[in-house]
Amino acid sequence: MLTRLAYTGAALVALAFGGMESAEAQQRGGAVTVATIGEPNTLDPMISAGDLLGMITQHFYETLFTFDKNWGLTPLLAERLPEISADGKVYTIPLRQGVTFHDGQPMTAKDVVASLKRWTDLASRGKLVASNIQAIEAVDDHTVRLTLKEPFAPLTALLAFNNSAAVIMPAGHMDNPIKEVIGTGPYQLKERKADQYIQLVRYDGYKSRPGEPDGFGGARKQYLDEIRFVPVPDANTRVEGALAGQFDYADLLPVEAYDRLKGQAKTEPLMLEAFGWPMFIMNNKQGMMTKQDLRKAVQAALNAEDMLAAAFGKPEFYALNGAMYPKGHVWYTDAGTKPYNQGDAEKAAASAKKAGYDGSPIRILTSRQYEFHYKMAQVAAEYLKAAGLKVDLQVVDWATLVQRRAEPAVWDIFITHSPFLPEPALIAPLPDTYPGWWASETKNKLLTALNTEMDQKKRVAIWADLQKLIYEEVPFYKVGDFSALTAKAPGLQGFTASPWPYFWNASLKQ
Amino acid sequence: MAAVSSPALAAPPKLASLIVQRKTLLIGLIVLTVIALLAILAPLIAPYSPTRLSVVNRLKPPSERWWFGTDEFGRDIFSRTIYAGRLSLLVGAVATVLAAGIGIALGLIAGFFRRADPVIARIVDAMMAFPDILLAISLVAALGPSLATVIVALGIVYAPRLARIVRASTLIIRELPYVEAARALGVATWRIMIRHILRNLVSPVLVQATFIFAYAMLAEAGLSFLGVGVSPEIPTWGTMIAAGRQYVGQADWMTLFPGIAIVLAVLSLQLLGDGLRDLLDPRLRKDL
Amino acid sequence: MTRYLIQRIVGMIAVMFTVVTIVFVIVRVAPGDPAAVMLGPDATPADIAALRERLGLDRPLVVQYVYFLGQLLRGDLGQSIFLNMPVLSALAERAEPTFFLTVFSIFIASAVALPVGILAAYRRGSLFDQLATTLAMLAASIPSFWLGLILIQVFAVRLGWFPVSGYGGPGAPFLVRLTHLVLPALALGIVSSALITRFTRASMLDVLNDDYVRTARSKGMGEFRVVMKHAFKNALIPVLTVIGLTMALLVSGAVVTETVFGLPGVGNLVVSAVLRRDYPVIQGALLVIAALYVLINFAIDMLYLAIDPRVRY
């Protein structure tokens, strides 16, 4: 599904990761109840890219690397950061020693190699690199070497994600679908009752990294005895449960609930700024949106401000920003963003005429799984209508949306959102194959340059050109930046807010 | 010799006075008429367009400008409520007509044709074994959610009730002397059905249909609330409550007014149904 | 007598068979692809096709039907696509909350409806009677999910007397689970009490005018004894019937109520299954619920027969 990563760079560090609680001695023990947005359809983080899945499985499965509090790469199961050869093709990864799986077996290079192979076979992120991999081999019991055919800068980032994840599993447990859940993480699976709870308990054989916690990396302390993930698909019920003190943590709440959660005895709101950005993806392959002038018409017609206001309520919860990354981010550039947020009905109508618009309704596909998608769609429909464009708003459940968007004949625009990814090359609608099918030569040239260039400064410049191209060719429309709201109980200490909440290092006040 | 006054000799009571005498019937009729009028005349009465967005005025409480307040897009809830009434009433009405059509047809055939009876009776029994909402959800899911499929699904769900009543009545009526006589005289079956049987079905069907109208409206609201019914952007009372749920505690008026509208509409239909039952069928006049 | 019994049993089997066929038809007609859901948005059409084949979704309908019947006869309701467990187990796991919710709701509904209905019948035409009848009608007009929302706001969020949602965590004691059921049972119970009240009242009215009651009265029995001993007992049978029939209403109501209150019951499972395109679960739930209903009705009919031999068709 959608990956989430608020990659905000140095200036926004304090926001992406919430501040840690002041040093009050953290107590051991207790069980924490976490309300999530639903039930994951699997506990195998390789086969699906859902945020929910990653959030849960990261407690019992671990990857070689992960992200530190600045969203930089940091080692987790690897001993150190990898050695990369000068030509960028060979990665040598030293592994930590003494790490054991939940069944007591030690983790060795054999397990890592098998896991990485499974990842390249099954995971969408793994498949991105599969054709580029020359070899994955165990140099010795505690070192793994990965050889690429061509340099690929995003590789380490891909290895660090916790969904569609390159988690390390025991070599003897490579079945698909997975039969037993055995990982190396600080908590292990005790019981799963679908639609009721997923119960994790402390893994006593866990060896934490030494030192202090650092984002998802660093030390992982196990204060809590138990973590219970409870699926609560209705957002309002999550809010109400938080208010009543029923949940120690409630994930992804409607930002409107902020006022209700403030000043309460049993819960407090947590805001994660610059969480992600919604986008309207155009069908560049078939139908009326293949005409650039019509896409420009839509670009001119939309009023991003009203769309964001309707979807997120208060200005504190969103930002009008045409650049694909928020201000202060390493990848931020305002190149080409002039056509953002025009709301100009006349200009849109003129552009539509130029495109030879024949009055057929524009089919916009959206879902209520993410309420803000749906709200933006409704506002957008009104603005498009004001420009003389007809709209056919199709509201379906997410499953149907995923199915329909794969067929170019049935939609013109669909709505989705993305986190701020550490690698712009990973932005979902960029590849030719992603629904939307943006297949422009210029784009592909720029993408290849972006992926093979290893110098960061040069990469930012290439990215700026790519962003300009996005505004010229309008393969999709970025609506703005938004923040996410969650809530936690005052008794939950040592908790660091992040896009994938984790509960190691957290404790309950007894 | 006791003189038994036959009903034909007594002065038939005027329909109007009969209605006025029964309070329930009267109240039900009045409330329903008011609601229906509001709904039908919505384009004339509504101060704002139900779809007009005014994001700057979102979530305003009831005031002189917006009698029922505004929703999260700044749309006027009063206007939306009466427009939603059109759709909610429409769904209820058309579903009821559909249920009646299917139910009467099935019931007549089952009652009249010996060979078709066991088959139809089993189908009717089987359909009634499913709880309404579950069956409706499944049917809507099977046909793909839309206004039309919700109506069709509800029509199918409630048809068996009418089929049963019609079948039972048909079985009784076809044994009546004058019907037997007509058959003996060679009158065409369909003629018999229409002239004699249908005429006698009017009261029980009408009473049951009124209740079905009420159930259908409640069911549509439930389906829309669950998100498995009408598309959420079509304003019906059910979708309005579902949309307002997020703002409970912040903008209660969003869920309050559509809810009250449902209660009033369903209540008036029930009063009407009760009153009709008392009025039309002396055998059932049992002070229920 | 035996012949009648056999007739009824055969009839019941015929209905079951029809139920099975109806369920099969409904579920197969549905659009939306469970394979696409399971694999997530990154799945290629090839992956989806492969999964469809593995799940047997691509065989011709008739073949699927025959296979389906065979499975049912073996007691196999299939495997949930989403949950990766047998449908029967999923239903069994979910049965507890729905069962207790239904029982609790009937209990609340009856506790209110029976005394009110009896008293209303007894004091026919009085203010109490009129009030009771009107309130009953009002209660029957309230959408149970709307009532549920209000109850949550008042009693769970503002007053904090009851939990907002869920059924209690792993290993929660029964009493805790009970507190989770109070509000939903109230929401359902209030709405169904309307039907039971009216029916009780009507039954009692019938019976109160019967000959033997008049006889008992003329014999000089105390009013209360007359009412309780004779009238009520005989009015009880049709009332029990209604209570049994209310089961169907309650299961329907449970679907929405469970969703509002987040109870992991069968109703909630069905709604999730519909949204997740989990065909086997939708199928299984419909089958089990309808089958139970048919069986319960059959049992009630047999009870009728045992108690009142005059009833015959």
Considering only residues 262 to 291 of chain C, which have any Cβ-Cβ distance to chain B shorter than 8 Å? 267, 270-271, 274-275, 282, 285-286, 289-291
CA distance A276 to B54: 25
Is residue A487 a contact partner of residue A270, using CB atoms and an 8 Å limit?
yes
The predicted pLDDT at position B230 comes to: 85
> In terms of Cα–Cα distance, which of A234, A276, A226 is closest to A51?
A276
Chain B positions with Cβ closer than 8 Å to A? 51, 53, 55-56, 58, 72-73, 227, 231-233, 245-250
Residue type, A479: V
Per-residue pLDDT of A105-137, as tens digits, reads 999 999 999 999 999 998 888 888 898 999 999
The reply to whether residue C138 touches residue B263, judged by beta carbons under 8 angstroms, is: yes
Nearest residue of C to residue A226, measured between CA atoms: C170
DSSP-assigned letters across all residues of A234-260 = -HHHHHHHHHTT--SEEEEE-GGGHHH
B265-285, pLDDT tens digit by residue? Answer: 999 999 898 888 877 765 544
pTM of the complete model:
0.81
From B138, B241, B287, residue closest to C26, measured CB to CB: B138
* Cβ <8 Å between B286 and C282: no
Query: What phi and psi values does residue B156 have, to the nearest 5 degrees?
Result: -65, -40
Nearest to C262 among A48, A237, A400 (CB): A237
Q: How high is the mean pLDDT of chain B?
A: 84
Contact (CB, 8 A) for C184 and C152: no
Q: Indicate if the pLDDT at residue A430 is higher than 70.
A: yes
For A378, which of B227, B233, B247 is closest by C-beta distance?
B233
- Does C19 touch chain B if contact means CB atoms closer than 8 Å? yes
Which DSSP category does A420 fall into? B
Q: What is the DSSP letter of B225?
A: H
Beta-ladder partners of A133? A148
Categorize the per-residue pLDDT at C163 as very low, low, confident or very high, splitting at 50, 70 and 90.
confident
Listed in sequence order, the residues at least 6 apart from B180 whose beta carbon sits closer than 8 Å to its beta carbon are B174
Contacts of A306 in chain B (CB under 8 A): 53, 55
- Under 8 Å between Cβ of A207 and A218: no
Q: Is B216 on the interface with C (CB under 8 A)?
A: no
At how many degrees (to 10) do helices B199-226 and B77-112 cross? 130
Q: Please answer whether residues C196 and C114 qualify as being in contact, where contact means their C-beta atoms are separated by less than 8 angstroms.
A: yes
CA distance C135 to C117: 12
Q: Which of C24, C129, C268, C274 to mutate to test the interface with B (most CBs of B within 10 A)?
A: C274
Run of H or E residues at B19: helix B15-21
- Residue in C143, C149, C274 closest to B218 by CB: C143
The H or E element that residue C188 is part of is: helix C174-208
- In terms of average pLDDT, the best of A472-486, B52-66, C152-166, C245-259 is A472-486
Residue type, A493: Q
Angstrom distance (rounded) from CA B202 to CA B205: 5
Least-confidence region, from B23-32, B236-245, B272-281: B272-281
CA distance A402 to chain C (A): 6
Please tell me if residue A371 touches chain B, with a CB cutoff of 8 Å.
yes
Is the Cβ pair C293, B131 closer than 8 Å? yes
Q: Would you call A230 and C157 a contact, using CB atoms and an 8 Å cutoff?
A: no
- Which range is least confidently modeled, A422-431, B7-16, C233-242? B7-16
H helix runs in A272-316, sequence order? 292-301, 304-312
Peptide bond preceding A233: is omega within 30 degrees of 0, i.e. cis?
no
pLDDT at residue A4 tops 50: no
Segment of A471-480, B168-177, B184-193 carrying the highest mean pLDDT: A471-480
Phi, psi of A67 (to 5 degrees): -105, 135
pLDDT digits (tens, 9 = 90+) for A166-215: 999 999 998 888 889 999 999 999 999 888 899 999 999 999 999 899 98
Does the CB of C65 have a partner CB in chain B at under 8 Å?
no
Residue A387 CA to residue B81 CA, distance in Å, equals 28
Q: pLDDT digits over B57-102, tens only?
A: 888 899 998 899 999 888 999 999 999 999 999 999 999 999 999 9
Contact criterion met (CB < 8 Å) for A399 and C259: no
Measured between beta carbons, which residues in chain B are less than 8 angstroms from residue C26? Answer: 138-139, 142
Contact between chains at C156 and A403 (C-beta distance less than 8 A): no
Cα gap C104→C107, rounded to integer Å: 5
- B69 close to B57: Cβ distance less than 8 angstroms: no
Separation between Cα atoms, residue B101 and residue A157, nearest integer Å: 63
pLDDT of amino acid C54: 67
Q: Provide, as residue numbers in chain A, all residues whose Cβ is less than 8 Å from the Cβ of B248.
A: 236
Give B10 to chain C, closest Cα distance, Å.
28
| A-interface mutation test, from B49, B70, B72, B231, most A Cβ less than 10 A away | B72
Assign residue B113 a region (left: φ > 0; alpha: ψ between -120 and 50; beta: otherwise): beta
Would you state the structure tokens that stand for residue C168, as one six-digit string? 């209690």
pLDDT tens digit string along A218-277? 999 999 999 999 988 888 889 988 988 889 999 988 888 888 898 888 999 999 888 889
Alpha carbon distances (Å) from A89 to A85, A124, A149, A446: 6, 21, 7, 20
- Least Cα separation, residue A348 to chain C (angstroms): 32
Query: Exposed, middle or buried, A98 (CB in 10 Å: 0-12/13-18/19+)?
Result: exposed
**Residues A241, C166: contact at Cβ < 8 Å?**
yes
For residue A439, is pLDDT > 50?
yes
Please give the span between the terminal C-alpha atoms of chain C, in angstroms, as a whole number: 11
Whole-number pLDDT of residue B15: 63
Structure-model confidence comparison of residues A414 and A195, the more confident one: A414
Task: Return the SS3 of C292.
Answer: helix
Rounded to the nearest angstrom, the minimum Cα separation between B208 and chain C is 15
- In single-letter form, the type of residue at position A439 comes to A
Count CB atoms within 10 A of the CB of residue A148.
Answer: 18
Chain B contact for A395, CB < 8 A?
Answer: yes
First-to-last C-alpha distance (Å) of chain A? 37
pLDDT above 70 (res C264): yes
C-chain residues within 8 Å CB-CB of A233?
A: 272
Q: Report the percent of chain A where pLDDT is more than 70.
A: 95
Average pLDDT across chain A, whole number: 88
Tell me the residue ranges of DSSP E strands in C201-300: none
Q: Do C275 and B143 touch (CB under 8 A)?
A: no
Chain A residue numbers with beta carbons less than 8 Å from the beta carbon of C278 are: none
User: Residues 109..168 of C with a Cβ closer than 8 Å to B: which?
Assistant: 124, 137-138, 140-146, 149, 153, 157
A211, exposed or middle or buried, with CB in 10 Å at 0-12, 13-18, 19+? exposed
CA dist A495 and A498 (Å) reads: 9
Nearest residue in chain B measured CA to CA from C13: B122
Query: Residue B41, SS3?
Result: coil
Q: What is the C-alpha separation between C261 and C157, in angstroms, rounded? A: 13
What is the predicted pLDDT for the residue at B7?
A: 43
CB contact at 8 A, C121 and C205: yes
CB atoms within 10 A of CB B282: 9
